[in-house]
A and B are shown apart, each in its own frame.
Chain A
Amino acid sequence: MFHSLLLNIRLFFRGAVLSYIALFRWFTPPAYLASKVIAPLSYMLFFVVLGTFATGKESASFYIIGNSVQMAAMSGIYGVTMSIGGDRWDGTLPYLFATPANRLALFVGRAAIHVLDGILGVFLGLFWGITLLGLDVSKTDPLVLSVVILITTFSTSGFGLLLGALSLLTRNIMFVNNTVFFLLLIFSGANLNLSLLPEWMQTISWSLPLTRGIASARKIISGSAFIEIAPLMGTEFLIGVLYILLGFLLFRWFEFKAKRKGTLEVM
């Protein structure tokens, strides 16, 4: 029992590290800098300036916080889906499905490193916010903010796992990723007061990860206590778990179907 647990933990981390290496194997320092620093910074600047153009300079922190937390989706969606879908591109999927490895460890391990990467991304966003855009964090409890970021990144990566499993069914992973990432810019409330949206869109917003995380981060930075956001964070965590389970079920279903029809490579 203990031995098998250890084995699964090792598998989990092996998957995690490999998926990170796989993701960045074509990367050189400039490419890394462009994708992980310049691109997120310019996304954020664009939406913050657009936001202040819309609602005035005093609302800047609304957009800064929203777009910083949105960074969790960069790793959580692009990173995670690529590490799942990448196997299909590389043609390694049949080998993976032939192993006796614990599927959950295998599946979730691929997301783990991207949770770390996502947390880093959110902190980097906030760092830009503080240094370049004058975000005021004097009333913020850093520990609580960290918890918010951790949970939000976790739930977003869970969503990424579902998308990753979905991406096994399509040829165009990047198309799905891009579309979802940009739609989240609307639905997460990073750039909008969600009450502006039609009711049906608000329903979607609150069933997605990130929405509660962004709302909580805004509250914490403006000085709220943990207790005020605890229910939001609890739900955010559950949403993450739910998406992971959905993704995992889909992943197993895909494996089952694929083995049955022998369509691993052709889809």
Chain B
Amino acid sequence: MASIRPFYLTKYLRVIASTFEMTFRQTVKDAFILFAVLFQPLIIAMLALWMLKDKGGQYIIFVVIGSGMTGLWSSLLFISGNGITVERWMGTLESLVAAPTPIQVVVIGKNLANVLQSLGSMVVSYILVSFIFGYPLSIAQPWLFLISLIITVVSFVCFGIIIASLFILNPDVQRWQNGLEFPVYILCGFLFPIALLPGWTTPLSYLLTPYWAALALHASAQGTGTIANISFAWGVMLGYSILYLFLSKRLFRVILKKARVDATLSMH
């Protein structure tokens, strides 16, 4: 068994790559995605730039990253979260399930495309702010920032699998979707420190992987963190990612079994 593992790995990587490519091609012209990954974070960035103007210091890079994080979360919630539901609407879910590739692999490819796409908003607001507004921008610890970014992508992709599977497993959860966007903006310290929030919310923040992502990205960009606390955030993100992957395997087993018993893979 162990000897055929690498064989599967290349196959799965190929599936991830092709899913990535086709998701990207399908969504690149989608107006809703354009809004979620580009317009909304840009408007939030502009608003925050004006609001925090008197803060001084590193606030500009703080706003660029923080508003980018809002785009990352919104697209994870609305686009990755609906990833399986959309396949069901299109009638492709049955073909995906009946293919020899586990559906988690497909979902990973889709999420990766969405997450990287929404990272684009961070790049756009970086460019916009530095060129149009004429603010000088620099990343204090570029290597730490880059590693933080990569780990953020990994943890968001894994978090997205859990969200998508919970939404497909229980449509009642999906109905809360509209109510989940801003609470995470608040709890994860994207644009203000969570110290401003009441103490009882802090454990909730710690449970959310975007909180640790924001922490590592903000700290490495501004140069306010030590290697110790940034790498602690990495560790937490990676730990959550492994947990999510492990959970998703079980969740998908339950979901697919249930869907094949209840005949809900397609819409009638």
Taking Cβ atoms with an 8 Å cutoff, the residues of A that contact B are 28, 30-31, 33-35, 37-39, 42-43, 45-46, 49-55, 171-172, 174-175, 178-179, 182-183, 185-186, 191-192, 196-197
Contacts and interface: CB of A to CB of B under 8 A. Distances in A.
Contact of A196 (B48, B50, B197): B50
B179 A34 contact: yes
B39 A186 contact: no
A38 B176 contact: yes
Contacts, number: 95
B27 interface: no
Contact of A183 (B43, B51, B181, B192): B43
B186 A46 contact: yes
A39 B180 CA distance: 7
A202 to B, nearest CB: 12
B101 interface: no
Interface string B30-53: 011011000110011011101111
A130 to B, nearest CB: 17
B199 interface: no
Interface string B176-206: 1111111101100001110011000000000
B182 A28 contact: no
A11 B55 CA distance: 54
A83 B8 CA distance: 51
B181 A53 contact: no
A148 to B, nearest CB: 24
Interface of B: 31-32, 34-35, 39-40, 43-44, 46-48, 50-55, 172, 175-183, 185-186, 191-193, 196-197
Nearest to A184: B43
A178 B197 CA distance: 27
A197 B53 CA distance: 12
With most chain A CB atoms within 10 A of its CB, the pick from B51, B52, B53, B54 is B51
Chain A facing B: main interface SS: helix
B186 A42 contact: yes
Nearest to B184: A42
A156 to B, nearest CB: 18
B46 A186 contact: yes
Given A49-B196, A185-B43, A186-B46, A42 B182 contact: yes
A43 B177 contact: no
B75 to A, nearest CB: 13
Contacts of A53: 52, 191-193, 196
A175 B48 CA distance: 22
Given A49-B192, A179-B39, A42 B51 contact: no
Nearest to B42: A182
B40 A191 contact: no
A178 B172 CA distance: 24
A56 to B, nearest CB: 10
B235 to A, nearest CB: 28
B186 A186 contact: no
A31 B185 CA distance: 20
Given A34-B177, A183-B43, A50 B48 contact: yes
A183 B43 CA distance: 7
Contacts of A172: 31-32
Given A28-B175, A174-B32, A43 B51 contact: no
Contacts of B172: 28, 30
Contact of A197 (B39, B50, B176, B179): B50
Contacts of A174: 31-32, 35
A183 B185 CA distance: 18
A150 B22 CA distance: 49
A126 B258 CA distance: 44
Contacts of B181: 39, 42
Contact of B178 (A39, A45, A51, A183): A39
A186 B50 contact: yes
15 contacts: A31-B178, A34-B177, A34-B180, A38-B183, A42-B182, A50-B192, A53-B52, A53-B193, A54-B52, A54-B55, A55-B51, A172-B31, A178-B40, A182-B39, A192-B50
